[in-house]
Amino acid sequence: MNRFKIFGVALITFALGFIVGFASQGKQSEDEYKYLRMFTDVLRIIKENYVEPVSTKDLIYGALNGMTKSLDPFSTFFTPKQYESFRQETEGEFGGVGIEIGMEKGRPVVISPIEGTPAFKAGIKPGDVILEIDGEDTSNMSLIDVVQRIRGKVGTKVQLTIHRKGMEKPMKIELERALIKIESVRWTTLGDVGYIKLSQFNENVGVQVEKALKELTSKRVKGIILDLRNDPGGLLSEAVNVASLFLPEGKLVVYTRGRNGETQKYFARRKPVVPDNLPVIVLINKGSASASEIVAGALQDYKRAIILGEKSFGKASVQNIIPLEDGSALKLTVAYYYTPLGRLIHNRGIVPDVQVAMDEKQEEALQEAIRQKKLEGKSGLILLPEKDPQLSKAIELIRSGQALKRVANL
């Protein structure tokens, strides 16, 4: 008997053990007994009667994938190969096109393109629905399937068929895969205003933002703009670290609540770097998700910053990675994030204090202007307030003194 057969027998025995356990619990477990028995019956019928030979391992993996698909877009099952790929991706450097993806109504949806990557340069936008990858329909793909098909050898190409709201027909975009190196924090001054662009909450982001804030405040700027637009999030620990730079030590930053009402609270860990009398404006849009929403929500609840822009994405759930004994793993949503005042972020997003929309034409004009500047030889962080109404409004609020008044009166 090979190891796949042993795996199958072990799993069936495990399931039958559950059945016996459920049966011993009495009437309340009759449904569990019935459906577990159905599962083992179907497994046996397929093994004995399907037209082609099929391994027990493949059947079980398929069943586990189906289970997680029935939950939410962020829970998934990883085969050993997929799990290894997932672990490599979280290290912050990988070959791909530079998009953060979620699932919505069975289709992969762009949460945010990462600035400076092939996807960003090609004009892919938050909310774009990926219908096909290299001509293959995505409707039956899991999230990890989508990620693995988009990623590949640096220099090779992948074609995405995209549907965008307001489009009559889908469009095809060909992208060349590149080594994605994420420069998470960049900063500069816009005259008398400090500006920090945070692209993703990777490791040590809090340290980098602290360095930026100390440098900018030493220049006696009139206010700070923290740009979290198109920031898909990242590490919870770094979200707490960044929020701690603005909030009094010991203040609640965020908490999670799980299925049975259990909560876990995360507090500001240090004294703030930003003086109380220095106004802060946080920019968000529909590409701001996860850790970005945690920071924006905390600063908004404590009236420490004005949140400006458009409603955020609304992805604020906690996933645990549970390794399994054969090298596979389960990524399972176990809780939701709440702001300090108890606002649920997930599927709701953060609503700005000052709403300033940017339509598609304005976004395209801004990106084209930035591309032209780069062609002219300009490097580094390129900011064009005259083409960016959200940034322009933030600067106006700080320079006019309205930002300080609004924070005091929020």
299 contacts 242 by C-beta, under 8 angstroms: no
Residues 75, 183: Cα–Cα separation, whole Å: 28
Respond yes or no: is residue 315 known to be catalytic.
yes
Pick the catalytic residue: 288, 290, 292, 328? 290
Backbone angles phi, psi at 194, to 5 degrees: -85, 140
> Which residues are CB-contacts of 255 (< 8 A; sequence separation ≥ 6)?
263, 264, 265, 266, 337, 338, 340
Of the residues 301, 312, 317, 388, only one is catalytic, namely: 301
Q: H-type helices in 245-309, by residue range?
A: 291-301
Q: In the annotation, is 139 catalytic? A: no
Region at 327 (left for phi over 0; alpha for psi -120 to 50; beta for the rest): left
SS3 sequence of 309-344: ECCCCCCCEEEEEEECCCCCEEEEEEEEEECCCCCE
From residue 54, alpha-carbon distances to 13, 14, 140, 290, 326 in Å are: 19, 20, 20, 40, 19
How many CB atoms are closer than 10 A to CB 3? 10
Encode 347-381: b = buried (16+ Cβ within 10 Å), e = exposed. eebbebbbebebeeeeeeebbeebeeeeeeeeeee
| Separation CA 173–CA 103 (nearest Å) | 20
Round the CA-based radius of gyration of the chain to a whole number and report it: 24
- Cα separation of 390 and 404, whole Å? 18
Which tokens hold the place of 97? 């096109």
Among 121, 125, 286, 315, which one carries the catalytic annotation? 315
User: CB of 242 within 8 A of CB of 187?
Assistant: no
Rounded to an integer, what distance in angstroms lies between the CA atom of residue 182 and that of residue 89? 12
- Beta strand pairing call for 193-198 and 185-190: antiparallel
Token pair 């025995």 is at which residue?
13
**8 A C-beta contact, residue 388 and residue 370:** no
Q: Is 301 a catalytic residue?
A: yes
Tell which residue, 347, 351, 359, has the closest CA to residue 389.
Answer: 359
Active site residues: 290, 301, 315
